[in-house]
Amino acid sequence: MIFPLPADFSCLTLLNDGAPLDVELRENGDEWIEFVFRRLGETVGSTGYSMAAHQALPGGYIYRVTGEEVLTALWVLFTRGGGPLCAILSQGEPAEADVEVWWDAVTHAVDQIGTVTTFAWWTIIGPDPHSGMGAAVRLAAAATAGGLRLDPEPGLFFENVPDKFNLFSGRPQHSGLVKATGESIGYTWHVATSDAARRVRLLCALLSISSGTAWIQRVGVHPLIRHTAAGAFEPTRPEDIELPAASPWEREDMILPADEVQVHEVEVPPWINARWETIVGDVRLTHALLNHHEGMLMMANHPSHACLAFVTTIEALGNRAIKKPPRCKHCRVVSGSGERFRQALARVIPADEAEQLGRRFYNWRSRTAHDGILHGLEPTFGAWPHSSGFSESTERAFQTELFGLAAAARRLLLLEVGGIAVPQSSLR
């Protein structure tokens, strides 16, 4: 077996007698290479590595250890339908000890695939300050949801939300921050954070439909560790993490007294915990829920695309009643989507209203999705709003009716996700 050598190297030594390793790269490749360099950290004290793609045939990736501990490099070559082929690259014949170091690392990593660690973490969630909420929304009491511990701050957090079209002013906003803590497993911290972030996003979406106010993650997911004076890391407790009372960018003379703020307290409803595993296990339902959450976050600045998100949510919930959507026998396009959309609406609003609202919004949705038409005030953002109430404005009418569509989508989600009986009452 002859390989053209990459630049900077004059010698190649195949590992495992030139046979591929028993690793499925598409499924476990990232995990395997993580364990390779974790092992090198244990055996030779390496602190990291660099990776470069080898574009010329036979392709693959070349890994070099950071520092001077190992002067050779690992070349991971791809094979058709098999595991990786590994070779040591060097200038001149490599020392036997260098080959042994790499062989130990790559084989040890194969044995470690499937090994996971539990990571404790924390983050902060709260109402979206850009959603234009009136009263300060906060969680009434500590709670658990989906295996996460939620501890609301006793005081209100203050920030000035910048005005989109005025560099010199902002809207003062109080809200209740919530410290969320949990545990996630993974072969590395970065994998565990994906699980953590997914659970936090789902929680925010559920709190949004239960409270009617958009909730978001306010900071990234962080490990529950602290940096000691000796320069080491050690575990810390959630209660040791202090949340700020105000944005660090605010001047104290601009902060409004909290006792003058109207507060609206919300709770974590029992159905979130009762239905959590069912929701997590239902991919289509989860995506419908997240689409609605996206719509809530886009309403202020991207109303036409928020409409797309809400219609998608309602349409997806309507499609749950059938196992396989019908298709035209000639062109194979899914048929009856608009009708199923209106039928889904009719579960939570009167039938005549569902028919009218459904036809209008499905038409608006199609014109945006297929022709790129914007129906709201997007083209005139930044203009001074003006309305005497007499003249018709299709843009203002669209934005007003969008709140009704969002409310209908929320009702459907409460019905489907929470199993809550909702009134089939008018949105007018």
Burial category of 198 from C-beta neighbours within 10 Å (exposed 0-12, middle 13-18, buried 19 and up): middle
Question: pLDDT by residue (tens digit) across 194-245?
Answer: 999 999 999 999 999 999 999 999 999 999 988 777 777 788 888 888 888 8
Segments of the chain with pLDDT less than 50 = none
Helix (H) or strand (E) holding 280: helix 270-280
> Residue 255's pLDDT is what?
64
- Residue 215 contacts residue 204 (beta carbons within 8 Å): yes
- Residue 85 contacts residue 18 (beta carbons within 8 Å): yes
Nearest to 268 by CA among 189, 198, 215, 326: 215
Strands of 140-248 (E only): list them. Answer: 143-145, 148-152, 157-163, 166-175, 178-186, 215-217, 222-223, 225-227, 233-235
Q: Give CA–CA dist 128/130, Å, rounded.
A: 5
Grouping H, G, I as helix, E, B as strand and the rest as coil, residue 219 is coil
Taking every pair of Cα atoms in the chain, the longest distance, rounded to a whole number of angstroms, is: 88
Q: Give the count of beta carbons closer than 10 Å to the beta carbon of residue 27.
A: 10
Given CA atoms 123, 129, 131, 135 in this order, what sign does their dihedral have?
Answer: positive
Question: pLDDT by residue (tens digit) across 150-169?
Answer: 999 998 998 888 887 778 77
> Residue 230's pLDDT is what?
74
Place of tokens 């053209």: 4
Residue 179 φ/ψ region, left for φ over 0, alpha for ψ in the -120 to 50 degree band, beta for the rest = beta
Pairing between strand 85-90 and 225-227? unpaired
Pairing between strand 136-139 and 263-266? parallel
> Residue 252's pLDDT is what?
64
